[in-house]
Chains A and B, each alone.
Chain A
């Protein structure tokens, strides 16, 4: 094999890493400047990647999952204890923990100061791929004091719901988030509010949030229902 020749015959061994170091280097050098061989490489790589699917599948011992989850939890617990930190890290941790609350304060202030500014902000946000989007939620006649907003990441994939002034519910009921797409409703999670009516919730959805049309919140049985049964408390259009 010389540097100028196509390396097609070497690619099967290259994807399996069974060439010598020198041979691997020669193939890599040629691939760097040869689209035809790169395309061949991808097709061989795809074939090699599938090989494990042909194995007899053996289940690991059931206890392994318990050990894994314990390991995960112990790693989480190794995170720094805020009480053991000095003042500045503690202050930073406080702001991180209360970020949703601060976001809500900002949202409420903006809403009170100027409704038109909200519209302009939304227009700007909808054309920007680099800023967070804030979707204000509209309350209903059943919840005249409720306020809330959905904060979406720039890609429209994730979102955090922040609400305030919602009535605290008894233990048999919870608020449930619904995501609406082409008329179909998917649960985005359930939550309860603090005694002051405040809550924040990371929305869990099978699809990126941007693919839904709107969001709504209803009161449902504790743990949530398969479909909404209660009246709408808050709602918002995800594509205003």
Chain B
């Protein structure tokens, strides 16, 4: 049985029915994404591995609770990953911020080949769009967004980590998100 042809939602339905091969295929698709989110948040490869395993174990146990209304499967996975990382931060007494996030270059990915199935083409296209949009953000806004998104820092914590005034950080977050939204909406327009 070739599980590559199934879309993400179908894989989750099969995982909910304890189909190990479906979990294996979902892992092949998204383990890099999940691991990368954890690695960029925690800057610790061992912890990132632990989080990645936790996330997929949770998918194995909770796949039946996923509904399409919750958004894309990739978004669901990254949300779970991000929340687990933030939990770790909050339970850690000595939090060490990872001030460097590794953004991909905008044009660094090859276009999908003709034999790619629909989900691969869609994912590759979205990655190109987001990378292009993030690449257009000013470095200071990109940095502030990364600290907020991947590490769950508040305005005040970001200001403290960067040694910048609170108002400056608030402005960077607001302008960064406004520009990102505008760029992504522009990319999605026909």
Binding site for B on A (CB under 8 A): 9, 11-13, 15-20, 43-44, 46-61, 64-65, 67-69, 71-73, 75-76, 157-158, 187, 189, 202, 204, 206-207
Q: Is B6 an interface residue, CB under 8 A from the partner?
A: yes
Tell me which of A48, A60, A64, A204 has the highest count of chain B C-beta atoms within 10 A of its own C-beta: A60
A53 and B127 form a contact (CB under 8 A): yes
A50 and B33 form a contact (CB under 8 A): no
Measured in the bound complex, the distance between the Cα atoms of B182 and A239 in whole Å is 46
> Which residues of the partner chain B approach A65 to less than 8 Å between Cβ atoms?
24, 27, 31
Measured in the bound complex, the distance between the Cα atoms of B153 and A5 in whole Å is 26
Q: Is B37 an interface residue, CB under 8 A from the partner?
A: yes
B1 and A51 form a contact (CB under 8 A): no
B1 and A64 form a contact (CB under 8 A): no
10 other A-B residue contacts (CB within 8 Å) besides A18-B157, A51-B149 = A12-B173, A17-B148, A44-B181, A51-B180, A53-B127, A54-B131, A59-B35, A69-B23, A69-B24, A204-B1
B174 and A9 form a contact (CB under 8 A): yes
B184 and A60 form a contact (CB under 8 A): no
Binding site for A on B (CB under 8 A): 1, 5-7, 10, 13-14, 17-20, 23-24, 27, 31-33, 35-37, 39-40, 48-49, 52-53, 56-57, 60-61, 71-72, 74-75, 78-79, 81-82, 101-104, 123, 126-127, 129-131, 133-135, 145, 148-149, 152-158, 170, 173-174, 176-178, 180-181, 184-185
* Main SS at interface, chain A: helix
Measured in the bound complex, the distance between the Cα atoms of B2 and A204 in whole Å is 10
A64 and B52 form a contact (CB under 8 A): yes
A18 and B53 form a contact (CB under 8 A): no
B36 and A206 form a contact (CB under 8 A): no
Q: Given contacts A15-B177, A18-B158, is CB(A60)–CB(B52) below 8 Å?
A: yes
> Which residues of the partner chain A approach B152 to less than 8 Å between Cβ atoms?
17-18
Measured in the bound complex, the distance between the Cα atoms of B10 and A106 in whole Å is 30
Measured in the bound complex, the distance between the Cα atoms of B7 and A207 in whole Å is 9
B14 and A48 form a contact (CB under 8 A): no
A-B contact pairs, 8 of them (CB 8 A): A12-B177, A13-B174, A16-B149, A19-B155, A55-B104, A58-B39, A75-B60, A204-B19
Which listed residue (B10, B57, B134, B154) contacts A20, Cβ 8 A?
B154
B32 and A59 form a contact (CB under 8 A): yes
Q: Given contacts A51-B134, A206-B7, is CB(A68)–CB(B148) below 8 Å?
A: no
Closest to A50 in B: B130
> Which residues of the partner chain B approach A51 to less than 8 Å between Cβ atoms?
130, 134, 145, 149, 180
Measured in the bound complex, the distance between the Cα atoms of B75 and A207 in whole Å is 22
